[in-house]
Amino acid sequence: MSLRLTLKEALRGLSANKVRTFLMMIGVIIGIAALISIVAVGQGAKAKVVKSAGKMWGTNPIMVTASAGGPNAGPHMGMGVGVGAQTLVMEDLQAIEKEVPNVRKASPGLLKSDVQVKYHQQAKTTEVFGITPEFREYRSWDVDGGEFISDDDVRSLGRVALIGQTVAQELFGDADPVGSSIMIDNVSFKVKGLLMARGTSPEGSDLDDRVMIPVTTFSRRLYNVDYLSNIVVQLKDVSRMDETASTIAAMLRDRHHIVPPKQDDFAVRTPSGVVRMFAGTSQTLTLFLGIVSAIALLVGGLVIMNIMLISIGERTREIGIRRALGARRKDILNQFLAEAVMVTLTGGLIGVAAGVVVARVLSLMKGMPIVVSWQAVGLAVAFSVVVGIVFGVQPARRAAWMNPVEALRGK
C-alpha cells in the first residue's frame, strides 16, 4: 500500500474517535510545551548573563582581585576593605604593567561594603568604590549629569563623589544631586556626577547602588589602607586574554611566594570566566528541568501505547476485514505505526506552540528574557516522532500479527 493510502487510513482511524486521539496527544503536548518553554527561558537567562557581564566588565578587561576565590567566583567576592586577603599592593600593579607584554594599562581599585551615606536627614547603606578616571573607559560607564572623576581629583585627594541612580533616588528623590554635599562615613563629599543607569549584574546585584570616589581619597583620606581590592588590566590584544591572565597569575604567585599546595591570595578573573560560571549554573538547571520534561514525554509515550493496545482490541473486526480484502501484515503494521507517529507529531507541534506561548507569558509576567531556539524546536519535533515510533511499534506489531479468522470473529 502506498504512503498516501497508509496516511489516509491512519487519519481515518484517528478521526473515528477524537476524544481518544486527544487523550493520546495530551502527554506529548505537555512534555514538549515544558521542554520548549524551559529551553527558551534558559537561553534567555544565558543571553541576559552575557549582556549583564558586558555591562559589568565593559571593554573586556582582566580583573585581579585580592581574594582566595577561584577564577570564576563573583567579581566582589572577598575583595572588600577589611575582608579577605590584603596582599595585593601598588607594587603588584606596577609589575603587571612593566613585566606582562600584552598589558596596555593597569588601574587600581578599592571597595568597601556596608558604608553609610547621608544627605541631610536621609541615610542609606551602600558600597563605596575607589576608582581612577580610566574606570570610565574600561567599564564603558559615564555620567548622566555632572562630570566624571579626573586626574586632578586623584592627585589632590579630592573629596568628590559619583553616585549611582539608586543612591540618588533614595537620598535626593527627583531632585538633581549634582553639586550637593553628602556624608560618607561622616566625611563630607561633593557630588560631582550622577552615574548612568546600569541595571543588575549577573549575580543579581544592583549596579546602580554604589558611590565612587577617587582611589587616593579612599585609601589615604577616608580609610587609610595601603593595599588594593582589585587591579583592572586592559589589554593590547584582547584575543590573547586567557594567555595574559595565566601570565599574570604566574607572576603574582612568584611575587607573593605562593607554592602549591598553598592557596592563592588573589584571583585572576576574565569576563568569559564569569559568563561560563553563571551560564553553567543556568544550563545545569535547564538540564534538570529538561530531564523532567523528557520523563513527561516518556509517560506520554506509555499512555499512547496503552491506549493503542486498547484501541486495537476494539478494532479487531476492522483489522480482520482489511486482511480478508488483501491487506498485508506490512500494511497493517504501517497503518498503526503511522497513527502513533501522527499523534505524537501533531502533539509535538501543538506542544511547541504552547511552549512558546507559555515562555512569552512568563516573560511578560516576570520580566524574564526568552530566546526561542529553532534547534530546540527541531529537537522537540524529532523527539515526538521517535516517541511515536518507539511506543507505537508494539501495538502495530500486535495488530499486524493478529490472526485474520479470529479477527473477523471479533476475538
- Give yes or no for a contact between 275 and 55, defined as CB atoms under 8 angstroms apart: no
Domain boundary, last residue among 220, 235, 265: 265
Q: How many CB atoms lie within 10 A of CB 199?
A: 13
For residue range 328-378, list pLDDT tens digits in order. Answer: 888 888 888 888 888 888 888 998 898 888 888 877 886 667 777 777 788
260 and 300: one domain?
Answer: no
Q: How far is CA 312 from CA 45, 81, 309, 397, in A?
A: 46, 75, 5, 11
The DSSP string of 15-40 is HTTHHHHHHHHHHHHHHHHHHHHHHH
Does 331 lie in the same domain as 220? Answer: no
- DSSP per-residue string spanning 370-387: ----HHHHHHHHHHHHHH
Residues 288-327: pLDDT tens digits?
Answer: 666 776 777 788 788 888 888 887 777 777 777 777 777 7
Q: Please state the φ and ψ torsions of residue 130, each to the nearest 5 degrees.
A: -100, 120
Say how many residues make up the chain.
411
Using a 10 angstrom Cβ sphere, with 0-12 exposed, 13-18 middle and 19 or more buried, the burial of residue 186 is exposed
Same domain for 182 and 319? Answer: no
Question: 307: Cβ–Cβ under 8 A, 6 or more apart, which residues?
Answer: 20, 23, 24
Asked whether the beta carbons of 141 and 58 are under 8 A apart, the reply is yes
Name the grid cell of 364.
511578560
Confidence at residue 73, expressed as pLDDT on a 0 to 100 scale? 42
Domain boundary among 221, 243, 265: 265
- Residue 240 and residue 114 share a domain: yes
Residue 243 and residue 300 in one domain: no
45/83 same-domain check: no
Cβ neighbours for 183, distance < 8 A, ≥ 6 positions apart: 117, 118, 119, 189
Q: Which residues of 138-167 are buried (b: 16+ CB within 10 A; e: fewer)?
A: bbebebeebebbeeebbeebbbbbbbbbbb
User: Does residue 185 sit in the same domain as residue 315?
Assistant: no
Does residue 62 sit within a domain?
no
Domain-embedded: residue 109: yes
169 grid coordinates: 533616588
Q: Model pTM? A: 0.59
* 57 belongs to a structural domain: no
Q: Any alpha helices (H) in 177-228, and if so which ranges? A: 215-216
3-class SS at 287? helix
56 is a domain residue: no
Please name which of 143, 134, 230, 126 lies closest in space to residue 184, comparing C-alpha atoms: 126
Same domain, 44 and 93: no
120 and 26 belong to one structural domain: no
Which residue's entry shows cell 527541531?
378
Residues 258, 316 within the same domain: no
Q: Is the domain of 203 the same as that of 280?
A: no
Q: Would you say 309 and 339 are in contact if contact means Cβ atoms under 8 Å apart?
A: no
Q: pLDDT tens, position by position, for the chain (411 residues)?
A: 566 777 777 777 677 777 888 888 888 888 888 888 877 877 776 666 655 555 555 555 788 988 754 444 444 444 567 565 678 999 999 999 999 999 999 999 999 999 999 999 999 999 999 999 999 888 888 999 999 999 999 999 999 999 999 999 999 999 999 999 999 999 999 999 999 998 877 566 788 999 999 999 999 999 999 899 999 998 888 888 889 999 999 999 999 999 888 888 898 888 765 555 555 555 666 666 667 767 777 887 888 888 888 877 777 777 777 777 777 888 888 888 888 888 888 888 998 898 888 888 877 886 667 777 777 788 788 888 888 888 888 888 888 777 776 666 655
Pairing of strands 181-184, 103-119: antiparallel
- Could you tell me the CA-to-CA distances from 74 to 5, 202, 212 in Å, in that order? 62, 9, 20
Domain hosting residue 76, numbered range = 67-265
Residue 393 lies in a domain: yes
Last residue of a domain, one of 265, 295, 319: 265
E strand map for 164-200: 181-184, 187-195
Do 283 and 394 have their domain in common?
A: yes
Confidence (pLDDT) at 77: 41
The pLDDT, as a whole number, for residue 200 is 75
Number of independent structural domains in the chain: 2
d(CA 243, CA 184): 40
